[in-house]
Amino acid sequence: MISFSVTHTSDKSNARRGVLLTPHGEVQTPAFIPVATQATIKALPTFLLEETTTQMIIANTYHLHLRPGESIIQNHGSIHSFMGWDHPVMTDSGGFQVFSLGFGKDFHSQKMTSQPSYDQVREGAQPKLLTIGEDGVTFTSYIDGKELFLGPQESITIQEQIGADIMFSFDECPPPFADHAYVKTSLQKTHRWAQHSLDARKGTNALYGIIQGGRYKDLREESARYITSLPFDGFGIGGEFGSKKEDMTTMLSSIHPFLPPQKPRHLLGVGHLEDIPLIIKEGVDTFDCIVPTHYARHGYAFTSQGKIDIRKRIHQDSQDPLDPSCSCRVCSHYSTGYIHHLLRSHEIAALSLLTLHNIHYFHSYVADLRTQIEQNKL
């Protein structure tokens, strides 16, 4: 079980400071949650993750179910002992990955890069690679081609076996290019699955319900009203909000009145650096995103001067750290010129160093926002 307390709400916005207490320790909120898809942050061993000041990670139910399988993780005790991380862990429900296999593949889109043309997916449409039924989704494993089924019952059982401190209810994540009728029907399913997810829970792991509704304000509000009426421990906000950045904040502010203030809120899959103050001002407590780790593996460092491509020749002779104001171990030990050299030499250590720095940078950025909330500046 978890407990959550709000310690301060800003005078200037809906931003709030809080403490989330889990069986594996506490999380000072607002907090950025790095993504550990396969029970590791990509390119970063767990003992180095502790250097980044990470408080909680989010692992991926869909991927861990496919490989190694939840029983292997359970035989280790839980995901904490499996990956050597004695701190809080969230698992997503697997819904997003299953559904991005469907319409996502059909339309060649991914959450980070999608430029959808709207209203292509209509009510009753089925994606090619999976079958969405009343009780869940039938799909094919990308590892061995086996046919698999995932519904709320299966998702919760898997998440309990993984041993997450915080689990998410199984939802249909509608494609960004779905029309209103599709999202409305999909939402009814997500709402039924929310109740089934609660019914399936056997243990004491915390469970968050997920608010969906796509880019439609009426459906988002309907979903917020219904999901918050159920006895969840917290609430996730999922899916797409529309094509413009403002759509996200408009939607968050429209559902804010429905969210019970005493329960934690997690925004799924959002966290470009420039988005972070905006979502925190709308009362988001935790959020996960692959941005810092994804860009690290492509040779980019986040710094107070912006996002920098360290492979560029201009860095060849630099003896400065990636960011002079950063207190991470990479910035106190290595020059930008050295990391540039590793990248140019295709040494994989470069990716670990950039990943460590980027995650640390994101956490420092959010820690500063926590202070700003306490001072009523945000």
Give the whole-angstrom CA distance, residue 283 versus residue 10. 10
Find the part of the chain contacting Zn ion (CB under 5 A) among 6-14, 133-141, 323-331, 362-370. Answer: 323-331
Nearest distance from C-beta of residue 361 to Zn ion, angstroms? 6
Tokens of 251: 């939607």
CB neighbours of residue 326 within 10 Å? 19
Catalytic residue, candidates 275, 285, 288, 323: 288
Based on the residue annotation, tell me whether 92 is a catalytic residue of this protein. Answer: yes
Return the ∠ at Cα 25 (arms to 21 and 29), rounded to 5°.
55
Q: Does 301 bind Zn ion (CB under 5 A)?
A: no
Q: Does 296 bind Zn ion (CB under 5 A)?
A: no
Find the part of the chain contacting Zn ion (CB under 5 A) among 51-59, 200-208, 244-252, 321-329. Answer: 321-329
Catalytic residue, candidates 92, 165, 171, 285: 92
Nearest distance from C-beta of residue 172 to Zn ion, angstroms? 39
Task: Kindly state the number of chain residues that form the binding site for Zn ion, as judged by CB under 5 A.
Answer: 5
Query: CA Rg, the chain, in Å?
Result: 20
Give the whole-angstrom CA distance, residue 76 versus residue 365. 35
Nearest distance from C-beta of residue 326 to Zn ion, angstroms? 3
Nearest distance from C-beta of residue 302 to Zn ion, angstroms? 9
Buried b (16+ CB within 10 A) or exposed e, 358-369: bbbbbbbbbeeb
Find the part of the chain contacting Zn ion (CB under 5 A) among 7-15, 180-188, 212-220, 330-338. Answer: 330-338
Based on the residue annotation, tell me whether 247 is a catalytic residue of this protein. Answer: no
Q: Does 156 bind Zn ion (CB under 5 A)?
A: no
Applying CB under 5 A, among 17, 340, 357, 363 the residue interacting with Zn ion is: 357
Residue 69: partners with Cβ closer than 8 Å, 6 or more residues away: none
Choose between 107 and 334: whose C-beta lies nearer to Zn ion. Answer: 334
253-292 binders of Zn ion (CB under 5 A): none
Nearest distance from C-beta of residue 334 to Zn ion, angstroms? 9
Report helix angle 217-227 to 180-200, nearest 10: 10
Q: List the 89-91 sheet strands across, edge first.
A: 31-33, 286-288, 265-267, 234-237, 206-211, 166-168, 89-91, 57-59, 35-36
Q: Does 326 bind Zn ion (CB under 5 A)?
A: yes
Choose between 262 and 327: whose C-beta lies nearer to Zn ion. Answer: 327
Q: Does 353 bind Zn ion (CB under 5 A)?
A: no
How far CA 218 is from CA of 215, 224, 250, 274, in Å, comes to 9, 10, 12, 27
Give the whole-angstrom CA distance, residue 268 versus residue 91. 11
Q: Does 215 bind Zn ion (CB under 5 A)?
A: no
Catalytic residues: 92, 288
Binding site for Zn ion (CB under 5 A): 326, 328, 330-331, 357
